[in-house]
Amino acid sequence: MLAGIFIGGFVSAIVNRRISVQTERGASYPAWKRLALALLGGLIAGFASRLARGCTSGMALTGTALLTTGGVAFLLSTFAGGYLVAYLFRRQWND
C-alpha cells in the first residue's frame, strides 16, 4: 500500500506535467559540485554511523535523554558543526 501511494503520486505528477528534474544550487555554484558534496556528506555520515556502531542521531537523542556526557557533547558538537558549515556554504552560495 505504501508503494502504491508513491507510485500513484509519481504517475499523477507525470500526467499533469508537474514534475521536473533539477538541482537546487546557487548562482555561481555548479550542479556537479553540489551533487559531489552531497555524496561526500552521505559517505561521511555513513562512515560515522559505522564507526559509532549505530545511528549517530540515535546517539544524540538517546544519549541526551539519558543525560550522558558523550550524548550531550555529541549533540552540541553536531549543532555547532552544522551551523558553521551552513554559514560557510551560505556565503559561497550567495556569491
CA gap 60, 64 in Å, rounded: 6
pLDDT at 83 over 90: yes
Q: Is residue 60 within 8 Å of 71, Cβ to Cβ?
A: yes
| Model confidence pLDDT, tens digit, residues 50-76 | 887 777 777 788 888 898 888 889 889
- The whole-number average pLDDT for the span 39-53 is 83
| Model confidence pLDDT, tens digit, residues 3-41 | 899 899 989 999 998 888 777 766 677 888 888 988 998
Q: Is residue 67 within 8 Å of 59, Cβ to Cβ?
A: no
